Amino acid sequence: MSFTRCAFFLLAGWIAACTTDAEPLTTGDEAARRSKNAVPKLVLVQTDRPPRLDGSLGDPAWSFANRTRAFVETRHGGVAPVQASAKLLWDELYLYVGVEVHDALLRASHTERDDYLWEQDCVELMIDPSGDGKNYFEIQVSPRGVVFDTRYDSRRVPQPFGHTDWDSKVRLGVSARGDLDDQEADAGYTVEIAIPWQAFSLDRKPIAPPAIGDEWRANLYVMDLIEDQQQAAAWSPLGTGDFHVPRRFGILAFEGPAEDMVGTNEPLHISTPKSPGAQTLESPASPH
């Protein structure tokens, strides 16, 4: 082997030894790594006219709301087994959440408040106003209009299901596109939730709504029962089968009325979908 060829292979080997996936050499690689760990962000328009809660997002107020991107598979952000998206608005009294779900078979036999709705079909919302993973709130609503709500001091504390005596005092509008709990094909359902700001008070003292420019952390989920297996979708993927990962919650950015808005819905990039298909949850109680 000539000296020139020998020197080339030695140099190539030295470069290969010094280059690892953990230490990207290019700006593009670094940007891709940051993008993989990003969470989605949604700008919330302030409305001067509350939407009518009738189980439809056809009210004119919703036309000004930004819509989330389609919900994704809960672990890695791939294609979700359930099609869903949400719109959010706010005013001086309420946070408004509207979720549209496409579901071919509706299962919602629970009828009592704080029944374990996550065992069947439901929309689920977790909200962390301070963004520090403490004192966060969970609200679930089924296609039947039943509510489960609770509050946590920190991640899954107290066990097993938080402070279930917490009452969110939500107002609802729910409509099902099909008949519940039969064997006929359905089309899905829509849930509208109006959450009073006072629900987020920890000491029952009056609290003010967010100020323009404030940011809260939150995540939205859809649970779907298929035969004896549960599947799910999320706004922000979590990297695990547990839904209680506040650091992976998305960002809600509170802004002014639509006519004063400069930006719009600004979803940040999530990791490239790895594999389509349903996710099997670890247990009925663990993910919700």
SS3 182: coil
Kindly report the average pLDDT of the chain as a whole number: 84
Q: What is the DSSP letter of 132?
A: S
Confidence of residue 36 (pLDDT cuts 50, 70, 90): low
Identify which of 84, 73, 58 has the alpha carbon closest to the alpha carbon of residue 141: 84
**CB within 8 Å of 76: residues ≥ 6 apart:** 237, 239, 271, 273, 274, 275
| Residue 160 preceded by cis peptide, ω within 30 | yes
Q: Residue 172's closest CA among 144, 130, 131?
A: 144
What is the C-alpha separation between 286 and 279, in angstroms, rounded?
A: 14
CA distance 229 to 62: 34
Question: Which amino acid belongs to residue 182?
Answer: D
Residue 261's CB is within 10 A of a number of other CB atoms, namely: 14
Q: Which pLDDT band, with edges at 50, 70 and 90, does 287 fall under?
A: low
Q: Which amino acid would we find at residue 120?
A: Q
pTM above 0.75, yes or no: yes
Rounded mean pLDDT, 18-35: 39
Structure token pair of residue 39: 């969470």
Contact 129, 249 (CB under 8 A): no
pLDDT at 64: 96
As a whole number, mean pLDDT of residues 95-100 equals 98
Evaluate the omega torsion of the peptide bond into residue 158 and state whether it is cis, within 30 degrees of 0: yes
C-alpha–C-alpha distance, residues 225 and 232, integer Å: 9
Count CB atoms within 10 A of the CB of residue 243. 23
pLDDT band at 211; cut points 50, 70, 90 = very high
Within 10 Å of residue 280's Cβ, how many Cβ atoms?
A: 10
Rounded Cα distance, 184 and 68, in Å? 30
Among 83-87, 109-113, 229-233, 262-266, the range scoring the smallest mean pLDDT is 262-266
pLDDT at 218: 98
Q: Please give the average per-residue pLDDT across 160-184, as a whole number.
A: 97
For residue 178, which amino acid is it?
A: G
Q: Is residue 265 over pLDDT 50?
A: no
Which ranges of the chain does DSSP label H, i.e. alpha helix? 3-18, 27-36
pLDDT band (50, 70, 90) for residue 259: confident
Instruction: Write phi, then psi, for 174 (nearest 5 degrees).
Output: -130, 135
Question: Could you tell me which residues come within 8 angstroms of residue 10 by beta carbon, excluding any fewer than 6 positions away?
Answer: none
- How many whole angstroms separate alpha carbon 114 and alpha carbon 99? 20
- Residue 74 is predicted with a pLDDT of 98
Say if CB 192 and CB 172 are below 8 A apart: yes
